[in-house]
Amino acid sequence: MRFPPRAIMLALLAGLVLSGTAFSPPPAWAEEFTGAQRAEIVAIVRDALKRDPSILRDAVVAMQEDDGEREKSASRATVAAARDALITPNDPVSGNPHGSVTIVEFFDVRCPYCRKLEPEMSAFLAADPDVRLVYKDLPILGAASVLGTKALLAARKQDAYEKLRDVVMRMPPDITRAAIETEAKKLGLDSGRLLHDMDDPSIQKQIDANLRLAQRLNIQGTPAMVVGDDLLAGAVDAGELKQAVAQARSAKK
């Protein structure tokens, strides 16, 4: 019985890693071979590994790539299923409202990685004026995060969401109601109205909707971004963001 050495090694070793069984064919294969044939396969594996240990590395890499593709496909399917909730009339928008590509950013006002992303995102939007940025306020870091988020959404009623967001994202993370009032006054907002609007039930309703959407998308932390069909988890650099936007733009053609 003859096998193409490297091809059979890669297929077999990938099966071994998945099955967790040292040097025995996966169950589906085991039914197709006699005991003598299985012994010969084992001998081939042992001999091949001695002569070329890189076979095992290649098998593991191939398996990891396959797993990565499956995870990406599953993530895209999840994004597609949640498409109706990704962008709503209540969502704050930055960049070009009519941009050909939309980035949906889930963020927490106290998240240090979200704050670090701010200048990079601003520079990116300035460099690509054909991108719309949709904010999904996701207060997951405690009561101060909820307070900051409510302030931003309340500021939207005065057309000052981004203006206050720029300030809140630079404030000390222990955000307080008094600090919000002080900053709102500095920006020329009606601070009394802002504090009143923060308790509007519609704002809590929007926060709850964002939290449910994050759960649907299996978002585990912030920042997280949806670009086209892809979900980008964690802080990304300008290069990764540019590539994701380019792919989304290309997919539309």
Task: Note whether 56 and 48 are within 8 A (CB).
Answer: no
Q: Write down the residue that tokens 């994701």 correspond to.
A: 244
| Number of helices followed by number of strands (H, E) in the chain | 12, 5
- Which pLDDT value is given to residue 20? 42
Cα-based distances in Å from 21 to 42, 63, 67, 247: 12, 15, 19, 40
In this structure, the number of other CB atoms found within 10 A of the CB of residue 245 comes to 21
Strand order in the sheet with 93-95: 93-95, 131-137, 101-107, 224-227, 230-233
Q: Write down the residue that tokens 């008094």 correspond to.
A: 178
- Which pLDDT value is given to residue 70? 58
Determine the residue type at 128: D
Q: What's the farthest any 2 CA atoms get from each other in the chain?
A: 85
What SS3 class is residue 93? strand
CATH 3.40.30.10 fits 83-251, yes or no: yes
- Which pLDDT value is given to residue 36? 80
Task: Note whether 223 and 107 are within 8 A (CB).
Answer: yes
- Which pLDDT value is given to residue 59? 64
Helix (H) or strand (E) holding 106: strand 101-107
Q: Check whether the bond before 5 is cis (ω within 30° of 0).
A: no
In this structure, the number of other CB atoms found within 10 A of the CB of residue 195 comes to 16
- Which pLDDT value is given to residue 28? 54
77-88, pLDDT tens digit by residue?
A: 888 888 889 999
Domain boundaries, the chain: 5-72, 83-251
- Which pLDDT value is given to residue 234? 84
In this structure, the number of other CB atoms found within 10 A of the CB of residue 167 comes to 19
- Which pLDDT value is given to residue 118? 93
Task: Note whether 26 and 16 are within 8 A (CB).
Answer: yes
35-87, pLDDT tens digit by residue?
A: 787 777 777 777 777 777 776 676 666 665 555 555 666 668 888 888 889 99
What does pLDDT average to in each consecutive run of 10 residues of the chain (253 residues)? Answer: 47 48 48 72 74 71 58 75 91 96 97 94 94 97 98 97 97 96 97 97 97 94 93 88 92 79
**CB under 8 Å to 3, separation ≥6 — which residues?**
41, 44
- Which pLDDT value is given to residue 74? 67
- Which pLDDT value is given to residue 63? 60
Task: Note whether 179 and 142 are within 8 A (CB).
Answer: no
Task: Note whether 230 and 248 are within 8 A (CB).
Answer: yes
- Which pLDDT value is given to residue 53? 74
- Which pLDDT value is given to residue 211? 97
